[in-house]
Amino acid sequence: MRRALHTASPSLSTRDRILKALLEILTKNGYQSFTTTQVASYAGISITTLYRYFPNKSSLTFFVIDYRLDLCAITMEEACRKQHGKTLQKMVQTLVSAYCNVNFEWPDVTKVVDRSIDDIDKTALLSSFNRRVEAATSAMLLTASDVVFSNLSLTSLTLLTALFGAVRGIIERDLPSEILPDIHGELTRMCLAYLEAVSTS
């Protein structure tokens, strides 16, 4: 975790245990049913220890949102870097795969990130995430071996907005897992069609 949380920083092992517990509970039971008592029990720590670092459900939720966004940003940044100089098709396939894989792996955690939670202000976290991913995407597209874009900033913004919105809608529908690979392919086609339409060779 790169950004400081609004809590005391626990030791690495304690933090990892709490995070693992959070992810397991959210995946099994969803957001509404998770409690601080549950998290402490799953993590194998006392409720007193948990409260020393995360005094309430909101701070735990912020913790998992921060982790989830940072993981997604790192995954997409690395994927984009590896595609510098490649063809547009290869870039799109890799970008879509990176985003889908992170989100489809933990759909219930993604729902927590996307859900509007009144007492949690995610504005700064989301702004940082968007800046990082847009910068990585623009830097990648700039090096495409077969096309050129006249407005990289606008193109990246539009591309990522469409991709993020589509994946969010798919997850909210709770579709069966066996259909996800096919949807993945359709998302790739959608993104590639847009980029081909706004680029020149």
- State the pLDDT at residue 3: 41
pLDDT of res. 182: 85
pLDDT at res. 8: 43
Residue ranges of alpha helices (H) inside 83-117 are: 88-105, 107-114
Q: Which residues of the chain have pLDDT under 50?
A: 1-10, 12
- Helix then strand then coil, in percent of the chain rounded to 5, is 75, 0, 25
The pLDDT, as a whole number, for residue 7 is 42
Q: What is the pLDDT of residues 18-55, one digit of tens each?
A: 888 888 887 777 777 778 898 898 888 899 999 988 88
Cα–Cα separations (whole angstroms), residue 95 to 60, 101, 107, 156, 194: 29, 10, 18, 11, 14
Examine residue 111 and state whether it is found in any structural domain, yes or no: yes
Q: Give residue 58's pLDDT.
A: 84
Instruction: State the Cα–Cα distance between residues 3 and 179, nearest whole angstrom.
Output: 35
Shared-domain flag, residues 69 and 23: no
Which CATH number characterizes residue 36's domain?
A: 1.10.10.60
Same structural domain for residues 32 and 98? no
Domain membership of residue 3 (yes or no) is no
Nearest to 105 by CA among 59, 56, 149, 72: 72
Residue range(s) defining the domain that contains residue 28: 10-55
Are 100 and 152 part of one and the same domain? yes
Same domain, 68 and 46: no
What pLDDT is recorded for position 2? 40
Q: What is the pLDDT of residue 112?
A: 66
Residues 161 and 68 in one domain: yes
pLDDT score, position 196? 97
Q: What is the pLDDT of residue 114?
A: 64
Task: Count the domains in the chain.
Answer: 2
